Structure 1
Amino acid sequence: MKIETLKGPKGDKQYTEIDFYRKGGMGEIYTATDIIEATKKAIKIVPVENNEEHKLLISEFKLATSLNHKNIVTTEFFDEFESKNVKYIYCVMPFNNNGSLRDYLSSQKELIDLDSSIKLMIDLAIGLESAHTKVVHRDLKPENVLLDDNGNLQICDFGLAKLIDAKTRTKSFKGFGTLAYMAPECWMFDSNTKAMDIYSLGIIFYEILTLKQPFTGKTEQEFRDKHLYEPLPNISNIRYSTHKMHVLSK
């Protein structure tokens, strides 16, 4: 989609040089130049198919703009436009070129040292604590965590977010999470609680410490059974045995 300019909080054509960057979990991500602030921005653009989607997206983007914490990606502005009889909603964020936590984990050749692992986990924990004053994220995963220029982790993409205690007995039009990280409450279509995100956070912590996902599967049913009925694998079996092999090899 070709877009010449988009409106911002300080001008009707505040964002220019709008170029496609990548597909997102919902919609597409573009880069743009903010001609007023002289900075590069990331703009998420989501097509809207019906009034229900429109209400949900407006609600979620309003929520995202209200979150303010160093470990949460800032949503600076959102608005909507129409192109070729299709309505779109977009939100504007600072552009981050440092990649995601998934990129970082995938690039590691050896297990991350304990001090660095703890730092990453603390970043995520305090960012989530701040978000939980207003919302349950519902789709925490390494792909939805970015690294800022100072090496801090920032939680992003609240596209599946729901207000705390809202019911989720049916899937929304955007789905209901990512199989490897979904808490038992998601599989049972139970109400949203902070515990859902804490469960997903625990899965991410496991990955930070082991560079592996604790549960894998080929089908949705396999993931469901593992999340509902299997205990988390013992982390020490990986970290201790790997460390011991490394020492013996010296």
Structure 2
Amino acid sequence: MLDINDIVHFNNDDYTVSSFLGQGGMGHVFLIKEKNGTKKYALKTLQYYLEDTDTYRSLINEWELAQNIRHENVISYRGFDDGSVSKTPYLIMDLAEDGSLQDFLNVQKVMLDEQLCLNIFHQIIDGMEAINQVLVHRDIKPDNIFINNGVFKIADFGLAKIIQDKTRSKTFKGWGTEPYIAPEAYRFEKNTIQMDMYSIGLVFFQIAGREHALGSPKDWETAHLMTVPKALNKVNNKISPKVAEVINKLIEKRPKDRYQNWNEVRNELNVATDNNKASYRNSVNRLLDKKLSKDLQIKEIESQNNLKDNELLRREGIVGYQLEKVIRTPLEDLLTQLNKTVARSESAELFYNLADKIHDITFSFDGKKVGIWFSAIDQSDELSPSLLKKIGVVSSSNLNISKSLTPKLRGKTVLAWGAVNFFDSRGFNLLLVQSEDDEYGDWYILRNSNLVSTPHNNQAEPFALDRKGLRLFIYFIDESCIYKMDVEAIERTDLIDLITDGF
């Protein structure tokens, strides 16, 4: 931990830790001054970290990349210590002495005019374009945009991972600050510049409208997924419909409906500037205003209709993340390590396919194969009252059979299920079940065997049920008269060992 008057060695010079500037999500911020000169920088400490974590290593890699970003509208990173020299890792960056964009907005008493807004917008766009050529920021917000001598500068890129690890909420496990998070982040989709565009659109709205586009909801997740904001020109009448339309597109719910790159945003805002100089400006603005109002009405209807679709997409995103993190990536690592130790002709192979929302993986080695399928629960997995009657279930003390049943494991909702099938017909089922702690879910395996042996039943045991079998028997795990179904909670790190035990 650094203290005031400590000496920091940087770029062959000594710097004194002069004063405490504040505390951010990752640690403390200090002012450092050149001991024998006039240079001044900001130093950010990395207070919460573990050296052997993926997050820490990823963060250090991003700091390496971030040092290459040089732009007038970006706070430059000048260097860092990864903890190998000092006990506390820290990052040294240029100093912005006129506060943050949030500070600027806090003192505004009236709506800004469009020309001033556009001037700020273009500076931020230029800075974001430079950053996104290297990495995705993931934590855009007014507190991370600074002002120095009237120039707006973006900061804290490459820091979102470590901040979120410390401050993440139960409902969101990605990166960023909830009021500015893109909807797709809740579905664990890949980081793209469209995520940053969404956040910037909300910041632009706040600059021009002096309020958040989505209001002040208690549930930010639902707001990002469902709330359609007002047209900005209805909030600030100094803003033209064209600028409102550009910002509306930046904060579209679906990434593909946003702009593809920052130059497109820049060009569209330039059109707004040209419109303001045109002879028929008032007519153009009236027509654009009507179009924007109509578009927002359509989006409001679409938003309500897509509530269930968004929930399903989110669940599929969680399942895809878990599959990648717990099964696919570890198997790929195993494949790489295994193939380094055997002849090429004996190499292991891994095949992956996604069809009809079912993930299929085949791992083969030494003439043997393990097949894995995995899928998020959807409406087709529900058990209807008519089907229950058809299979002879007319009453149950544990189930309400008057309505369709959603798969549950001893009262807990099943998020996804699948199976691991070995070459000799043995296997087990995989269940990802709702967790009380987070939205990732808890892992269980289900080993099945026949309660009654017959001369004609030579099935290897334990075995995995197919999807149809899971749909029928998941509700009767503790009372089935056909199968003995053993449920075991497992740690995700144990799963690869269980899979390789089948060879």
**TM-score using structure 2 length:** 0.43
Partners of 1:241 and 1:96 lie apart in 2 by 30
Tell me what 2:71 maps to.
69
Q: Is the 8 A contact 1:160 1:177 kept in 2?
A: no
What secondary structure sits across from 1:95 in the alignment? coil
Structure 1 residue matching 2:89: 3-state secondary structure: strand
**1:67·1:131 contact (CA, 8 Å) conserved in 2?**
yes
Shift of 1:241: 9.0
1:232 aligned partner: 229
Q: Deviations over 1:36-71 (max 9, x none)?
A: 552221100113333224313311221221111111
Kindly tell me: are residues 80 and 135 of structure 1, through their superposed partners in 2, closer, same or farther at Cα, counting changes over 3 Å?
Answer: closer
Distance 2:40 2:159 in 1: 26
Q: Distance in 2 between matches of 1:218 and 1:115?
A: 30
What CA distance in whole angstroms lies between the structure 1 residues aligned with 2:225 and 2:77?
34
The residue number in structure 2 matching 1:57 is 59
Q: Give the aligned residue type for 2:184.
A: E
Structure 2 CA distance for aligned equivalents of residues 199 and 90 of structure 1: 29
What are the Cα deviations for residues 14-53 of structure 1, in whole angstroms up to 9, with x where unaligned?
1114322200121110011123552221100113333224
- 2: CA distance between counterparts of 1:216 and 1:9? 46
Cα distance between partner residues in 2 of 1:199 and 1:20: 33
CA offsets per residue over residues 65-112 of structure 1, 9 Å max, x none?
1111111001111114479xx931111122222000000011101011
SS at match of 2:105: helix
Distance (Å, rounded) in 1 between the aligned partners of 2:183 and 2:91: 31
Higher mean alpha-carbon deviation, 87-96 vs 67-76, is at 87-96
Partner of 2:42: 42
Report deviation, 1:118: 0.3
Distance in 1 separating the partners of 2:194 and 2:42? 30
Instruction: Check the 8 A contact 1:49/1:87 in 2, yes or no.
Output: no
- 1:180–1:216 Cα contact (<8 Å) kept: no
Which structure would you say has the larger RCO, counting Cα contacts within 8 Å and 6 or more residues apart?
1
How many residue pairs align between the two structures? Answer: 228
- 1:227 and 1:17, CA in 2 relative to 1: closer, same or farther beyond 3 A? closer
Deviations 1:111-142 (A, max 9, x none): 11111100000001111111111110000011
| C-alpha RMSD over aligned residues | 2.4
**Contact 1:27 1:45 (C-alpha < 8 Å) held by counterparts:** yes
Native 8 Å contact 2:3 2:17 kept in 1: no
Tell me if the contact between 1:123 and 1:153 (Cα under 8 Å) persists in the aligned partners.
yes
Residue 174 of structure 1 deviates from its aligned partner by 6.4
SS of equivalent to 1:16: strand
Q: Does 1:223 align with 2:238?
A: no
Q: Residue 105 of structure 2 aligns with which residue?
A: 105
Report what 1:131 is aligned to: 131
Residue deviations 1:140-164, cap 9 Å, x none? 0110000011x111000014458xx
Name the CA distance, whole Å, in 1 between partners of 2:17 and 2:235.
Answer: 47
- SS for the counterpart of 1:136 is coil
C-alpha contact 2:181 2:195 (8 A) present in aligned 1: yes
1:6: which partner in 2? 8
Give 5+ residue unaligned stretches, structure 1: 163-170, 243-250
Greater Cα radius of gyration, structure 1 or 2: 2
Partner of 2:21: 21
Deviation at 1:208, TM superposition (A): 1.0
> Under a length normalisation based on structure 1, what TM-score does the superposition of the two structures give?
0.83
Q: Relative to structure 1, is the Cα distance of residues 42 and 187 closer, same or farther in structure 2, using a 3 angstrom cutoff? A: same
Quote the residue 1:211 is aligned against.
210
Cα distance in structure 1, aligned partners of 2:98 and 2:43: 16
- Give the conservation status (yes or no) of the 8 Å contact 1:21–1:30: yes
Q: Compared with structure 1, are the counterparts of its residues 241 and 16 closer, same or farther at alpha carbon in structure 2 (3 Å cutoff)?
A: closer
Taking a change above 3 Å as real, the CA distance of residues 190 and 160 of structure 1, as seen in their structure-2 partners, is farther
* Letter aligned with residue 57 of structure 1: L
Distance 2:36 2:132 in 1: 33
In structure 2, runs of 5+ residues without a counterpart are 169-174, 240-503
Q: Is the Cα contact below 8 Å between 1:160 and 1:174 reproduced in 2? A: no
C-alpha distance 226-218 of structure 1, shift in aligned 2 (>3 A): closer
Please show how residues 67-216 of structure 1 align to structure 2 within 5 Å.
67-81=69-83, 87-149=87-149, 151-160=150-159, 172=165, 175=168, 176-216=175-215
1:2 CA displacement: 1.8
Aligned 8 A contact 1:145 1:153 in 2: yes
- Cα distance between partner residues in 2 of 1:31 and 1:64: 20
Identity of aligned residues (%): 29
Give runs of ≥4 in structure 1 deviating > 3 Å: 80-83, 159-162, 171-175, 216-219
> Are the counterparts in 1 of residues 111 and 209 from structure 2 also a CA contact under 8 Å?
yes
Contact in 1 for aligned 2:19/2:31 (Cα 8 Å): yes
